[in-house]
Structure 1
């Protein structure tokens, strides 16, 4: 399937394909950090029951759209209706409470979007919000919302004043913008309709929800045959830094997005009291004694280890006896100190009775790297940063 939306850290499809090659049709597959939906799509193609969770609202939306099987005539009808409603709205003032009633979110939109584009984006956001609270087909609404995000989360030219949003490194690169929002949005929606309606060869079922991989309350104990996922790296890509430029037009205010960002796995944010005796033991194993790490970075690593322990605890809980969990993990570098994220997860797994069955390493092409190798990194360390680890755990009581 062709890419339907930019995503900075997409799991390689061949990993998901290989993970499910030997699984019996109708198995239950979970990706608790679903991202762009690569694992879920492959599970559906193989005829499995699939579950996906993510804390990032845009990842949830993206994944829902990527596994949908929309009826082309119905979605086209709803797009035509939106364009009609947009024209009928004209220059009328619209109310977007999550923006207009929140000073920070309002100023955010004024900083990142020029007035010309802001006016049309407000109108589309207003109509989509109306549709969201109607009885309109949910697959159509999701597709129409993602079409809006596609003209914002871009590398260069888009509806905002920023560049490099698609890599979650947005920076304001201009003060004016000639981008035609309505024309760009229409093309974006039509492209999505073309891609999805020509490539929806799914025979399984999927449920994708907003949720935390460290506390999957919606997943029953011992109900999952296989987990296939890729946890965020420590100090990794800040997805919401870029995604929030689209999410503010889809009903989310900045403070709520900040809260999600601060509680995400791999975040740079640290919490007071985020300590754990076992985590400190693991930390001593994975960090060289001689290092240049600052106290806040030590806290960040400790929090990441606590997150890994909780994640592997939930992994152990939801897996069936002899169920497998495949984790694709990249290591990190903080102040020229190599941090073995893969070892962190292996240590966390042992705590929860998950045994390592396979551990392989695959080199990443430079064009596919999730993060750039830090400048000044020694050659030996640079080589270690050019690969990711594929760990297969098995649940044994």
Structure 2
């Protein structure tokens, strides 16, 4: 790969870049934009927590720099909470997002919903009505049963469990589907906060003092936050615009799911960082409350820590098979991307170094090694060190640009 390695200063530390200058520049600019606006999410991006989502600034810069003009098509095969879709909507792109988790698609649809003043006012009226009914239930001690298994119920204090269950019953009674689905995502946004789960990405428990009525108060605050975010989004969307589309699919079988002549100009996505997260576990509280069957996520989640990271006793035996699995998963993703790209299309992937059976796997090097199997070639890379959540040596995060080699 041509190009001299360079280090550039940014708020988050030096960015090392190599490869084709035409692609190296936007990758570095995207990394720097992420650091310079780390807390400035804006639009609907900050409404709902979602582990390891792409920073909006990365998506914004890449979409601006690589646009081929109005109506260019971008695909995000790991759309998560819809970061790329929101930025594509504002940037005038056509977009398609896919994910294996139905929760992700529900959330992405709500976050990209264009709501004018009347629709926002109607939503706020329904939010208020649901909250008033929930407050009345709490005050009058209305008996309600959470439709959860015993193990799932154990994550909540009894009075919190009842308030959440009553709140969800009132949401489900809303007849307007559009508002009901949005209210469910507001509910989803507060579920973990009021559970005994310590954080979004930790399965450990912690003691939380929650007074009666606080759940409903936070529900209202989060709903109002969504309405305000919709107003900001609506003001930013150009006219005419292209509404995003979403499909439920494993990224590796997306060409089969689309079953047609779909092609895109750009793939922009952040695939899972190997051995780092378990979305099945991170969203377990939400899946249970919302009645989402996570079977596909359980069976086919890519890069899951439960599949790739092993305890010390198992590492020696598991290492070859775990590394082979991680290679196989990424090879299949690259093959899918290559099939969906137009001949002159570009793929930009935000990837992090993996932790597989106790071994660090450099994500950029892995993509360079596997890309030829999918008839792709890495044309540029921008890399920046990130703190290791375990307190060990830093991992690196990389923006990698690929093109078809044929």
Q: TM-score range by the shorter chain?
A: 0.7 to 0.9
1:394 is the counterpart of 2:403: yes
Contact between 1:221 and 1:317, CA under 8 Å: does it hold in 2?
Answer: no
* 1:207-247 superposed Cα distances (whole Å, 9 cap, x missing partner): 12332111111264451111001111111212332322122
- Find the aligned partners of 1:219 and 1:67 in 2 and give their Cα distance: 25
Query: Distance in 1 between the 2:155 and 2:208 partners?
Result: 9
- Name which of 77, 102, 107 aligns with 1:32: 77
- Give the distance between the partners of 1:78 and 1:121, measured in 2 at CA: 17
SS at match of 1:68: coil
The equivalent residue for 1:190 is 224
How many Å separate the matches in 2 of 1:295 and 1:130? 52
| Alpha-carbon distance between aligned partners in 1 of 2:220 and 2:355, rounded to the nearest angstrom | 42
Relative distance call for 1:309 and 1:359 in structure 2 (3 A) is same
Partner Cα distance (2:208, 2:219) in 1: 21
Q: Distance in 2 between matches of 1:189 and 1:25?
A: 33
2:204 corresponds to: 171
CA distance in 2, matches of 1:13, 1:198: 15
1:119-198 alignment to 2 at 5 Å?
A: 119-131=162-174, 134=175, 136-138=176-178, 140-153=179-192, 158-164=193-199, 166=200, 168-174=201-207, 177-178=210-211, 180-198=214-232
1:246–1:320 CA distance, 2 compared to 1 (3 A) = same
Q: Give the equivalent residue in structure 1 for 2:250.
A: 212
- Alignment partners' CA distance in 1, 2:105 and 2:153: 26
The within-5 A match list for 1:252-291 is 252=292, 256-257=293-294, 259-270=296-307
- Flag structure 2 segments of 5+ consecutive residues without an equivalent: 1-41, 309-313
Matches within 5 A, 1:291-370: 293-334=315-356, 337-364=359-386, 366=387
Deviation at 1:396, TM superposition (A): 4.3
- 8 A contact 1:357–1:394 mirrored in 2: yes
Q: CA RMSD in A?
A: 2.6
CA shift at 1:91, angstroms?
Answer: 5.3
Contact 2:135 2:216 in 1 (8 A): no
* Structure 1 equivalent of residue 311 of structure 2: none
Q: Distance in 1 between matches of 2:60 and 2:74?
A: 12
Deviation at 1:94, TM superposition (A): 5.2
Instruction: Specify whether residues 94 and 218 from structure 1 end up closer, same or farther in structure 2 by C-alpha distance, changes over 3 A only.
Output: farther
CA distance in 2, matches of 1:270, 1:332: 12
TM (norm. structure 1) is 0.78
2:156 alignment partner, one of 100, 113, 132: 113
Question: Which of 87, 94, 102 in structure 2 is aligned with 1:57?
Answer: 102
Q: Distance in 2 between matches of 1:391 and 1:14?
A: 16
Determine helix, strand or coil for the equivalent of 1:141: helix
Matching residue within 50, 65, 68 for 2:113 = 68
Could you say if the C-alpha distance between residues 299 and 125 of structure 1 is closer, same or farther in structure 2, counting changes exceeding 3 Å?
farther
Q: 1:220 to 1:394 in 2, by over 3 A?
A: farther
**Displacement, 1:260?**
1.5
Which sections of structure 1, spanning at least 5 residues, go unmatched? Answer: 100-104, 272-291
When residues 220 and 227 of structure 1 are mapped into structure 2, their CA distance, relative to the original with a 3 A threshold, is farther
| CA apart distance, 1:42 | 1.4
CA distances 1:79-126 after superposition (whole Å, capped 9, x unpaired)? 234235546766555576xx3xxxxx4113321011101112112222
| CA gap 1:334/1:197 in 2 versus in 1, 3 angstroms | same
Matches of 2:399 and 2:301 in 1, distance apart? 22
Evaluate the alpha carbon distance shift between residue 335 and residue 29 of structure 1 in structure 2; reply closer, same or farther with a 3 A threshold: closer
